[in-house]
Every structure is written in structure tokens, then in C-alpha cells.
Amino acid sequence: MKVKNAKFVISAVSPKQYPDSNLLEVAFAGRSNVGKSSLINALLGRKRLAYSGSKQGMTRQINYYNLDDEIHFVDLPGYGFAAVSKSEKNLWGKVITDYLNVRPQLYLVLMLVDIRHKPSKDDENMYQWILNSGIDYLVVATKADKLSKQQARNNAQIIRNTLQIPPEKDIICVSAEKRTGIDKLWEAIDRYIIEEDDEAENNQKGEEEK
Ligand code: GDP
């Protein structure tokens, strides 16, 4: 998708604030500092529309961006702050799982992991929640410019083994800084949009034929 007009909609702190809209949603999940805001900006061709907030107290915030009134990008709260309390951590879990389970218009989750690091326990939890939700997902390894091609391949394998990503599922390596992999990622997102639109059309036809 070639985005002409991207705008910030809301920082929702409770499900009541999620936009009352049927636009399809693509959600972004990953630990804090993984490069989530940078990737969203790179996909939108913008410098600073998305930004990572100050580190504490952001555990419950879900940021919505509207892309040409066609889809919403949904920036889920980053995780992995060393200093957060247990209750804050539980809250984060609840915010994420609530969101994954209540949004029928959510059709794709991008699970971001830093190409340089073995996924953390929080990453493993996040990945399990995505699997449990049954929603389609893509695994995206960020900051690919920081490693050689060979190192990136090796690390992608470590990510695959740690999260137990099935062999048929690609890991898409991107660099927001160098813009590598961004077109490939858009192509992958677009494929899901087309599939989802076809499905909606078929459902509608089915309804009309009844
Ligand atoms: P967030 O907390 O997940 O939203 O992460 P940010 O997008 O704020 O990025 C965290 C840090 O990683 C910042 O210092 C970015 O400049 C840096 N960063 C993000 N993406 C890339 C990338 O593709 N390559 C490099 N080298 N650094 C990146």
C-alpha cells in the first residue's frame, strides 16, 4: 500500500477508547527499544509520526494511526522494562491479551524482535499470546543493518529456534535506518489485506445468496 496520508488517532488506555471503526487493523508488538516506532515511521515514509514514549507508565497505552482511511496501524505497548513492578507487568499482559481477543477487525500482528538478541521470556509470552489468539502474524527482525548478512542469517535461526517458529513462516529482516526490507514487508502486509478483503467479499456474497 502506498500511504498518502497517515495521521495519529488516539493513545487508548482502555478498550472503550479504541476507535469505533471497522477499518482493518495491523498491530505491532515488541519489547521497548526494539525499533517499533522507527519501523512504523519507515513504513509510513514519515520521520516522527510514531514515537516511543518515556519509559515508565506506558504499559497500557495503545496508539492508533489511520492510513488513508483504509487501515489502522496499532502500536501495542512495548515491554521488557527492567524497572517495572509485577502489577505493572500483569497489567501489560492484560492490555495486550484483551486487545488481541476483542478486535475482530485485527487481521495481522507484526511481532518485532531485535536481530541481535535471543528473544526474551517476554518475547516468548508475546509470541504465545499471538498463537493463542489465532490471528495471522509475521515475525520481523529489526535493525538488520547492525549485522553482516551471515550474522543476520545465524541470528534469525536463533530467533526461529527460541520462539519455535515453524519452518514455512518467513522471518522478515528490516532496517528502518537503511530502509532495507521495508518494501518486502509492505508486500507481505498487502498480501494479507487482499486475502482479508476477498474473504469479506465472499462472506457478503454468501449472505446475499441466502
Ligand atoms: P521503540 O521503543 O521500539 O519504539 O524503539 P525506537 O524506534 O524508538 O528505536 C530504539 C532505538 O533503536 C533508537 O535509538 C533508534 O534510533 C534505534 N533504531 C531503530 N531502528 C533501527 C534500525 O533499523 N537500525 C539501527 N541501527 N538503529 C535503529
For ligand 1, pick from 33, 38, 113 the residue to mutate: most ligand atoms within 8 Å of CB.
38
Backbone angles phi, psi at 21, to 5 degrees: -155, 150
DSSP 6: E
pTM summary value: 0.93
Q: What is the mean pLDDT of residues 2-21?
A: 92
Domain chopping of the chain, boundaries: 6-203
What pLDDT was estimated at residue 137?
A: 97
One-letter amino acid of 189: I
The pLDDT, as a whole number, for residue 52 is: 72
Separation CA 38–CA 176 (nearest Å)? 6
Report the distance separating Cα 26 and Cα 65, nearest Å: 10
Between 194 and 27, residue with greater pLDDT: 27
pLDDT at 133: 94
Q: In whole angstroms, what separates CA 116 from the centre of its chain?
A: 19
- At the topology level, CATH places domain 6-203 in Rossmann fold (3.40.50)
> Binning pLDDT at 50, 70 and 90, where does residue 89 land?
confident
Distance between Cα 117 and ligand 1 center (Å): 14
State the average pLDDT for the chain: 90
Q: Band of the pLDDT at 210, cuts 50, 70, 90?
A: low
Answer whether residue 56 shows pLDDT above 60: no
Ligand 1 center–CA 38 separation, angstroms: 6
Does the C-beta of 160 come closer than 6 Å to ligand 1? Answer: no
